[in-house]
Amino acid sequence: GAVVSQHPSWVICKSGTSVKIECRSLDFQATTMFWYRQFPKQSLMLMATSNEGSKATYEQGVEKDKFLINHASLTLSTLTVTSAHPEDSSFYICSARIGANEKLFFGSGTQLSVL
């Protein structure tokens, strides 16, 4: 099956620093990737849709200048949390779709803790 690799799996950083999370599709090309965040015991909240070669589409309420998304190739999308603050601490998960296939393949997630 399709594999989505997400790195790092966890990161601890100081308030004010930036953190980059990578999401790679290992054995397929992903035209579209989705970034979600999840708080404990809550649902996955869609943050943005990342399209290869174009600007990401952000959901309402998500600051695009704070959560920078780059989808430079068909196998790599990155999410950079800029000037992180403790309220940005969360579980971030990327996902990818193969062509028009409806199901999503998820990465293993990144637990971000901002001190």
Partner 1 sequence: SQKIEQNSEALNIQEGKTATLTCNYTNYSPAYLQWYRQDPGRGPVFLLLIRENEKEKRKERLKVTFDTTLKQSLFHITASQPADSATYLCALVSSSNTGKLIFGQGTTLQVKP
Site for partner 1 (CB under 8 A): how many residues? Answer: 25
Question: Measured between alpha carbons, how far is residue 47 from residues 2, 3, 14, 107 in Å?
Answer: 22, 21, 23, 15
Exposed e or buried b per residue across 90-112, where buried means at least 16 C-beta atoms within 10 angstroms of its C-beta: bbbbbbbbbeeeeebbebebbeb
Write each residue from 4 to 43 as x if it is in contact with partner 1 (CB under 8 A), else as -, in one continuous string: x-x-------------------------x-x-x----xxx
Interface stretch with partner 1, choices 14-22, 61-69, 70-78, 89-97 (CB under 8 A) = 89-97
State the residues that interact with partner 1 by CB under 8 A: 4, 6, 32, 34, 36, 41-44, 46, 49, 57, 91, 93, 95, 97, 102-109, 111
